[in-house]
Amino acid sequence: MEMKETHPIDDLIRTDRIPHIWCSGCGIGIAVHCFLNAIRKSGIPPKNFAVVSGIGCSGRVAGYVKLDSFHTTHGRPIPFAVGLKLANDRLKVVVFSGDGDLIAIGGNHFIHAARRNVDITVICVNNFNYGMTGGQAAPTTPVRARTSTTPYGNFEFPFNLAYLAAGSGAVYVSRWTTLHAKQLEDSMLEALGKKGFTFVEAISPCPTLYNRMNKLGTALDFMKFCKEHSVIRHGADPKTANIDLRGDIVVGRFVNVERPTFTDFLEEGLAQGLPHRKALLDEERKEFEHE
Amino acid sequence: MKAEKSILSGKHFFQGDTACAEGGIYAGCRFFGGYPITPATEVAERMAERLPAIGGIYIQMEDEIASMCAVLGAAWGGRKSMTSTSGPGFSLMMENFGLGIMTETPCVLVNVQRAGPSTGLPTAVGQGDMMQARWGSHGVYEVIALCPSSPQEAFNLTVRAFNLSEKYRLPVLVMMDEVVGHMTEKVVIPEPGELEVVPRRESRVAPDAYLPFKPDADLVPPMVRAGQGYHIHVTGLTHDERGYPVITKEAQEKLVRRLCDKIRVNRKDILSWEEREAENADVLVVAYGITARIAMLPIQMARKKGLKVGLFRLITAWPFPEERLRKLAGTVGGVVVPEINYGQMVFEVERCVAGKAPVRLVSHMGGSTHRPEDILNAIMDVAKNK
Ligand code: SF4
C-alpha cells in the first residue's frame, strides 16, 4: 500500500512550492511552523487571513503559506498591509518579514503603523544580517560583529526592536528565540487575538552567514546557546531587554496594553461629525458578505 | 453607499485638483492614501473631507512610498483607490508604481506636475515628468497616462483613468499640471449613470480552478480580492499564471510580454486625442495639458496672418497616438511642439513625423506657461522654412 506522507499543517502550506529556499538549520522554518500552528489555534477561518511580506529570506514566507499572500517590495509590506486592512476590516492581516526589511528600509513605515496602532500583527525574524543578499550588516547587527560589509567589525549601534516597537506605540511586544517554539507560538496566538499593532520578534540563527562569519557554531550550537543564555523576563522594560550573543538574551512578553486602534478611534471620532457614516459602513459590510 | 448619493451632480466652480477628487468619487473611489505636496495637496484635502462622509477611507501616510503601497493594498482589499502627488513625491512613488504594474493592480495616481528637477518650483507649473511617467520605474512595461487641459477634463479623465485601470488592471496616471490643477472653472458633474463606470473585473471561477494570472482573450486576467477564500499569491517577482515565482527567462518572456501587449494590443480602445483643423495644415501644433490651451492664442494669431494652423492635442500621452500623427505628418507643412520642459513628447512627435516635415520644439523651463509670441514665432518660422 502506498503511504502518502502528510504533515498536520500541510493544508496551510503551498505544498506545490516545496522544497523551500531556506538553508538547513535556518530559524525561519520554525517561526513559520509556530505561525501556522497559531493560526490553527486562533479559530479564525484561514480565508480571513492575509499575509504580507517584503524582500529577503524571511520575505519569502508569504510565498509558502496557503493563505491570501502578498510578496511586496523591499521594506514596504507594512504600508501595503495598512491599505489592505483599512480597505477590508474583516481581514486578519499579518506582516511576516525580516529585520532588514522591516527596520532598515521599512523603518519609517514600522514606527508610523505602530504609532497609529493599525490593527495588524507584525512578525519579525531577526537574524542580525541580510541573508538573501549574502550576509551584509543590518540595523540589528551587534557591535563589532563581522558581516560581508563589515569586514573589520560593525561599529554602529543596533536597534533594540522590542524597545523601538514599544516606544512607537505597539500594544503588544514580545521576543522569543526559535528555540522557544512553544512560547513563540503562544505569543503569536496572543498577538493574533489582540486588537491593534502587535509585534513578535523571533531571534533566529542564520547558520549559513551570520553565525558562520561570527564563529557562533552550527545551528545546533546556537540552539544550545539560546537554551543556556535566554533569560525570561515577562513585563521587563524593553529598554533594558538586551540581546547579547556573547552574554544573555532577554526574552518574554514585554508589553501588553490597551489602546484604541486606528480604526476604532477614527470611527469614534467620525461618528460625532458624520452620524450617517455608520449606516454606510454597515451597508458596505453586508455587500462584501453577500458574495 | 449607494453611489448616487455620493455624486454631486450639477454645475460647480472647481479647481482642477478638486475636480480630480470628484472624478475619483464618481468612478467609485473609496480609498485615498496620500501625502501633502504642493500643488497636489488640494486633491488630498478634498478627499479628506469627502471620503469619510460617503463611507470611504482617507489616510495620510508617512510618505509617498507608503501612500502608493497603501493604495495597492486597498485595491486588493476590494476598494477602488487613488493617490495624488507632485515632483519629488512622484519620484518616490515610482518604486511601487512598478509593483502595481507587475501585480496588475487597478488604481489611479494623479501627478499635478510642478517645475523640477528636485524641489524646483514647488508652487509653479512644469511638464517635466512626461518621460518619467513612461519610464520612471525600472524594467520593461507599458503605461497609460492621461493629460487634462481643464478642470472639467480633470474630472472626466479621472473617471476614465479608473475605468481603464479596472479594464486593463494597472495603475493609471493622470498627468495634470499645476495650472490646470489650480485653475478654477465651471465643472459639470453628470448624473450617476451618465458616464460609464467600469466595475472590478471579478473572476467567477471557483477557487480550486482559479489561476490568478491567467488572462482572458484580451490578455487581462480577472481578479479576486483578499478574504474570498481563493488563497491567492501575488508577488513582484516574475511569476506564472498561478502567481508563483518562476525565476527563468521563459517565465519573464511570457509574463512581461503579456503585461506590455495588453496595452499595445488594446491601444485603439485606450488612445484619445483632439484635433482642430489638423489635416492639411501649414503648421500643426502638438501640445497637451495647459500648453494646448495657451497655444490656441498664437494659433489664432497666425491664422489671422493667413496661415492654416491646426492643433493636435494629446489626451493620452501614453500610449502615444502614433498611427494618427504619422498619417497627419504627410499632410502638414511643419510641426511645432510647445511643452514646459526641454523636450520630451517632442521625441515621440519626431519619431512619428519621421522627417516628413520639420519639427520645432518650443521649450520652456517652467514656472509659468509659454509666452504666446514664442509659440507664434515658432509657427511663423516653421511656415517660412518648410
Ligand atoms: S541565508 Fe541565513 S537567513 Fe537566509 S535561509 Fe539561509 S540561514 Fe536562513
For residue A86, the chain B residues in CB contact (below 8 A) are 31, 57, 59, 70, 74, 77
The DSSP bridge partners found for residue B273 are: B314
Q: In percent, how much of chain B has pLDDT > 70?
A: 99
Instruction: Report if residue B129 sits inside a domain.
Output: yes
Binary contact (B230, A81; C-beta < 8 A): no
Binary contact (B78, A88; C-beta < 8 A): yes
**pLDDT reported for residue A2:** 62
Report the pLDDT averaged over residues B243-258.
98
Taking the CA of residue A208 as reference, the ligand 1 atom at the shortest distance is 7
Domain boundary among B156, B172, B189: B189
Instruction: Report if residue B219 sits inside a domain.
Output: no
| DSSP H or E run through A92 | strand A92-98
**pLDDT reported for residue A222:** 97
Instruction: Report if residue B209 sits inside a domain.
Output: no
Report the alpha-carbon distance of residue A26 to residue A211 in Å, rounded: 10
* B125 φψ region: left (φ > 0), alpha (ψ -120 to 50), beta (else): beta
Closest CA to ligand 1's atom 4: A131
A164 and A279 inside one domain: no
Binary contact (A112, B65; C-beta < 8 A): no
Strands A172-177 and A249-256, by their bridges, are: antiparallel
Total tally of structural domains belonging to chain A = 2
Instruction: Report if residue B369 sits inside a domain.
Output: yes
A181 and A93 inside one domain: yes
Q: What is the CATH number of the domain that holds B354?
A: 3.40.50.920
Residues spanned by the domain of B49: 3-189
The DSSP bridge partners found for residue B34 are: B60
The DSSP bridge partners found for residue A202 are: A125, A176
Q: Model confidence over B339-378: pLDDT tens digits? A: 999 999 999 999 999 999 999 999 999 999 999 999 999 9
- Going from the C-alpha of B186 to that of each of A265, B189, B230, the distances in angstroms are 38, 10, 46
A175 and A246 inside one domain: yes
- Which ranges in chain A belong to alpha helices (H)? 28-42, 77-87, 99, 107-116, 161-168, 181-193, 210-213, 219-229, 262-273, 277-290
Residues B9 and B192: beta-carbon distance below 8 Å = yes
Strands A136-137 and A129-130, by their bridges, are: antiparallel
Report the alpha-carbon distance of residue B115 to residue B86 in Å, rounded: 9
A288 and A168 inside one domain: no
In total, chain B counts a number of residues equal to 386
Closest CA to ligand 1's atom 2: A206
Report the alpha-carbon distance of residue A156 to residue A145 in Å, rounded: 10
Distance A272 CA to ligand 1 centre (A): 51
**pLDDT reported for residue B3:** 54
Nearest CA in chain B to A114: B62
Residues spanned by the domain of A269: 262-291
B170 and B304 inside one domain: no
Report the alpha-carbon distance of residue A286 to residue A276 in Å, rounded: 16
Instruction: Report if residue A199 sits inside a domain.
Output: yes
For the Cβ of A26 lying below 6 angstroms from any atom of ligand 1, the answer is yes
- Report the gap between the CA of B228 and the closest CA in chain A (Å): 7
Residues B286 and B349: beta-carbon distance below 8 Å = yes
Instruction: Report if residue A110 sits inside a domain.
Output: yes
Instruction: Report if residue B212 sits inside a domain.
Output: no
Is B77 a residue whose pLDDT tops 90? Answer: yes
For the Cβ of A138 lying below 6 angstroms from any atom of ligand 1, the answer is no
The DSSP bridge partners found for residue A122 are: A95, A199
Distance A56 CA to ligand 1 centre (A): 9
Strands B171-177 and B145-146, by their bridges, are: parallel
A267 and A251 inside one domain: no
For the Cβ of A30 lying below 6 angstroms from any atom of ligand 1, the answer is no
A60 and A145 inside one domain: yes
Instruction: Report if residue A229 sits inside a domain.
Output: yes
The DSSP bridge partners found for residue A72 are: none
* Other beta carbons within 10 Å of B374: 15
- CA geometry: angle at B118 spanning B114 and B119, to 5°? 65
**pLDDT reported for residue A286:** 82
Distance of CA B249 to the CA centre of its chain: 31
A125 and A20 inside one domain: yes
A192 and A248 inside one domain: yes
Instruction: Report if residue A4 sits inside a domain.
Output: no
A281 and A149 inside one domain: no
For residue A81, the chain B residues in CB contact (below 8 A) are 73
Instruction: Report if residue A3 sits inside a domain.
Output: no
For residue B228, the chain A residues in CB contact (below 8 A) are 47, 291
Sheet with B273-276, side-by-side order of all strands: B273-276, B309-314, B283-287, B334-339, B359-363
Is B172 a residue whose pLDDT tops 50? Answer: yes
Which parts of chain A sit beneath pLDDT 50?
Answer: none
Report the alpha-carbon distance of residue B133 to residue B94 in Å, rounded: 9
Q: Model confidence over B12-25: pLDDT tens digits? A: 999 999 999 999 99
Report the alpha-carbon distance of residue B10 to residue B33 in Å, rounded: 27
Q: What is the CATH number of the domain that holds A153?
A: 3.40.50.970
Binary contact (A71, B78; C-beta < 8 A): no
**pLDDT reported for residue A284:** 83
For the Cβ of A127 lying below 6 angstroms from any atom of ligand 1, the answer is yes
Taking the CA of residue A56 as reference, the ligand 1 atom at the shortest distance is 4
Instruction: Report if residue A283 sits inside a domain.
Output: yes
Taking the CA of residue A125 as reference, the ligand 1 atom at the shortest distance is 3
Is B262 a residue whose pLDDT tops 50? Answer: yes
B282 and B138 inside one domain: no
The DSSP bridge partners found for residue B234 are: A70
Contact residues for B234 (Cβ-Cβ < 8 A; gap 6+): A69, A70, A71, B76, B103, B212, B243
Q: Model confidence over B148-159: pLDDT tens digits? A: 999 999 999 999
Is B327 a residue whose pLDDT tops 90? Answer: yes
| DSSP H or E run through B292 | helix B290-294
B129 and B26 inside one domain: yes
Binary contact (B231, A66; C-beta < 8 A): yes
Instruction: Report if residue B240 sits inside a domain.
Output: no
- Which among B31, B99, B227 is the nearest to A72, CB-wise? B99
B28 and B140 inside one domain: yes
B11 and B158 inside one domain: yes
For residue A284, the chain B residues in CB contact (below 8 A) are 1, 55
Total tally of structural domains belonging to chain B = 2
**Confidence label for B79 from pLDDT (cuts 50, 70 and 90):** very high
Q: In this predicted complex, what is the ipTM?
A: 0.97
A280 and A195 inside one domain: no
DSSP letter assigned to residue A59: G
Report the alpha-carbon distance of residue B245 to residue B198 in Å, rounded: 30
B151 and B15 inside one domain: yes
**pLDDT reported for residue B386:** 67
Instruction: Report if residue A104 sits inside a domain.
Output: yes
Domain boundary among B125, B154, B189: B189
B180 and B280 inside one domain: no
A196 and A63 inside one domain: yes
For the Cβ of A97 lying below 6 angstroms from any atom of ligand 1, the answer is no
B184 and B63 inside one domain: yes
Instruction: Report if residue B13 sits inside a domain.
Output: yes
B300 and B174 inside one domain: no
What the block records as the C-alpha cell of B384 is: 517660412
Q: Model confidence over A111-124: pLDDT tens digits? A: 999 999 999 999 99
B9 and B141 inside one domain: yes
Average pLDDT score, chain B: 97
Domain boundary among B189, B220, B245: B189
A109 in contact with chain B, both atoms CB, cutoff 8 A: yes
**Confidence label for B53 from pLDDT (cuts 50, 70 and 90):** very high
Is B1 a residue whose pLDDT tops 60? Answer: no
Instruction: Report if residue B17 sits inside a domain.
Output: yes
A283 and A211 inside one domain: no
What the block records as the C-alpha cell of A42 is: 486562533
- Reduce the DSSP state of residue A225 to 3 states and report it: helix
Q: List the end-to-end C-alpha distance of chain B, in Å, as a whole number.
A: 59
Q: What is the CATH number of the domain that holds B160?
A: 3.40.50.970
B11 and B108 inside one domain: yes
DSSP letter assigned to residue B354: T
Instruction: Report if residue A5 sits inside a domain.
Output: no
Instruction: Please state the pTM of the whole predicted model.
Output: 0.97
Nearest CA in chain B to A68: B231
| DSSP H or E run through B166 | helix B151-168
Closest CA to ligand 1's atom 5: A22
